Chain A
Amino acid sequence: MRLRTLVWREIFERKSQLATSFLAILLGITVIVSIKNITFYSEKAVSREMDSLGANVLILPKSATLQDYYAADMQGDTIPREYIDQLALSNLEGLDNVSPKLSVPVELKGLKFHLTGILPKKEFQAKAAWQGAGIFSRPIGCGAMPTLPFAPGDNKTLVRQRVVEDLEKDEALVGSDVASALGISEGQSLELLGQAFRVTAVLPQTGTIDDSRIFAHLDRVQELSGKGDVINAIEVIGCCQEISNGLVSKINKLLPDAKVVTITQIADAQIKMNRLMSRLSMIFLVIIVFVGGAGIANYMYANVFERRREIGTLMALGAHSSLILRIFLLKALLLGLTGGIGGYLLGTVLAATLGPKLAGVPVLPMPILFLWALGISIGLALLSSYFPARRAAKLDPCATFQEL
């Protein structure tokens, strides 16, 4: 005979009464785990989608507007290039990618285009529209989707990445409109502002102003345009979660002489969805705490009442009040443990099954949710059972013997 034998036997003796409490905790944990699991992968998927739309934070000169930016950032004002260094050296979290740009007008064969200076890798990583075309590798960071076994791979991405990273100062990338208007293809040369450039790639059509851009190295564009060490804009891919946590105001504080704007329509969609999901899981958490907790407490009080003679007998046989307390708390612990494990398994299966149908995303098990599930279910079971257990421990043994 051990304490656990005493508890275990009682559970099995009255298992039908325990079933309701167990079901309450099991279903509660199942729902929370499945929502959290689906939410996690849904957020990642939306983040990736957001990423594919390009930069979501812009750093512009004070006088510039978003319209200026969309009109090929051809505003007259500039900001110092050293802002890039300031951002790089700051301890700001959530900057997934930073891409400076300087644009100047150029004329070729009587046609007007934009020569845009970029810092190769960063600029290209920010241009997610191109990534969608499979040219560049994904940036690693908050917006990146973990590699799923069934995610489609793209050989082209790796092949072309080298080109981007190796962009030399006499190399240029041309937008699709530029290429078709001038009849240029890869490997040909063109002269811009008195300097010859070799076209290393013709970019796929994006349907944006970028189609009429010619990209070259930022250093060379600065040098040829005679504008000095300045840029027109810095495109930032910020983590949406960090944006909602005040990334913009933090950048504003760091760069007080610049204008920092979010592409709110895009960021808001993400933030709203994230908030909806997290509110939903919070609502379920509150429901399980109140309904599940009340159910367990109610069951435990009834159990104490039903077992008062048994408790009195144990006390008459010499049981201390602490032992009675432990009997009920151990039972609560077992209830929480089994409810938590069962809820995690069921919730994970549910998420993996329903996730692709409901949220359109593949969902994989998340071991961290196992700790979550156990923490909530055991904590709730112990907390709900504490007062009934204490009542049992304080029972007057005399009152339990009606026949005496």
Chain B
Amino acid sequence: MIKVNERIGVFICHCGLNIAGTVNVEKVAEEISKCKGVVHAEHYIFMCSDPGQEKVRQTIKEKKLDGVIVAACSPDLHEHTFRSAAASAGLNPYRVEIANIREWVAWPHEGKGEEATEKAIKIIDAAIEKLRDNMALLPVEVPVTKKVLVIGGGIAGIQAALDCADAGLDVYLVERGQSIGGKMAQLSETFPTLDCPQCIETPKMTAVAQHPKIHLYAYSEIEDVNGYVGNFKVKIKRKPTFVDWDKCTGCRECMKVCPVKVPSEYERGIADRKAIYISFPQAVPNKAVIDAENCIRMKYGKGCGLCAKNCPSKAITFEGNGSIEEVKVGAIIVATGFDVMGVNSFGEYGYGKYKDVLDALQFERLLAPAGPTSGKVLRPSDGREPKEVVFVQCVGSRDPDNWHPYCSKICCMYIAKQAMLYKHAVPDGQAYVFYIDIRADGKGYEEFVHRAMTEDGVIYLRGKVGKIVEEGDKLRVYGVDTLTGRNVVIDADLVVLATAVEPSKGIDDLARKLRIQLDQDGWLSEAHLKLRPLESLTSGIFIAGAAQYIKDITDTVSQASGAAAKAIALLSRDKLEKEPIVATVDEEVCVGCGNCVSICTYNAVELDPELKVARVNEGLCEGCGACAATCPSGAIQLINNTKKQIFEMITALTRRD
């Protein structure tokens, strides 16, 4: 770049008293005006305001500025604002630099006015040095594939898929189980309306199956993800079903004759399924799969085969019909849901050895009208109706020392519901709930819990349960009631534990493939908890539902539609603009060592096999600069953040005493 008659304008913001209260902005303006190339230096109360931005625009035009520094708050907040202002006045937006004198100077050094002022001057000086070598850049344009991938076929995934498909986008919905529906399909009734979940979910499930724009990949997993926002390439692995789904009609004759019984995942172990199965009556797709680990024919290569003999459509092949398909999408929505901890983890409650200590999801299956007991509440051990049922909340939640520090959010409501439903099923039974707090913060939730207490006579005891011990055919529950200060011992017939929820198993593998982040508990990280809860930190990948953090169905459906809206907005354009701050390689200096290739999290650098130099894919590069830091010769550098610029900034920061 030929620098002829540099004309830099510097605008120093007071930010009300945020900056001006500590930094002497007048002095700063005076000192900065002496810097080489600075033809304009002023200070103003709120640069981000309309008049403030207008100042920038006007000065650019009047004084023919070729560079602008705005000394104000963090660039995170207003870099975009000032770049747009400059662009509208005809100055390339990348000739604008922000000097952070609020978060870096005024706020940490409150009360130290003199030193803060000096520091502000140094920081602005350094920004000017960086600006001198900034190149004028044009955004990188990438084309867009107007298709969406939804990972997870629970209510979140279903809703998101329907919204996107209704907006005219093709949707690939990938679910690893045999059927979509998720946890909602396992519930008995939903709080607070006590709706039948299968009744309200199945219309949506069939809508998914029938929607012309939705391509359902059930019994499938994500194998590999490559690419970048607008241009993802995804490999979907269809797991082998050993049944030809083009022929299978879902008549379930095979299930009738199969001799093998395996604890059913859908029934959560309360009942069994067969080695060939369809998860539940309303399953979508209504197609059978063979569990090869338990099927006799699949395990030994011969024998049995009764299902195939009885299949009227001759659909059962026993042949490995797995495949990998590659699809191209522009956006991805991750809706992988959650898991519930089993009772086996809790030693104080019997390690799962007590047949009548259940987790809440198992109890749902007992309560479910279409469940293994047809809605009758019966003890798993002897099939008798329990007359004393104890519900324990917060098992494994809110417990940073032993288990999870977080609150599992939905348990207070579902325990109230389960206690109520138990009372409806066994009117002469007694339900006890041990709780620490009651969290009933939704619409109609407080009233619902109140109803359980007053109308259904559920006894709420504020206290924890120390342990449960088998006493004959009863379960002796040792608890405490902190409101009266007394120990409570209940000989229960059945105990239901509200075990903690956890992110779905396998989420860390998937997150690695997608290159999105998880927080320390394994929930998907959002870009900003308050303002951007539906976007992951990776462009083009959105998150929805319990995978982001456990939530009830209302919130899940809201988030799903929100994520869908984001995907629709992203893909509404034909081209996407990417920040042009990317890495470039000086091929004469590059020796092809591959350090940058190894270090790049975005797989944006490759080695040209012939010339043995590194090449950057500008579409994939996110401008993080890790490659520039790792290159020993300085061959790969970040545009507008070159080593020379950084050295000049250091010089500027250290040359004033």
Bound together: no
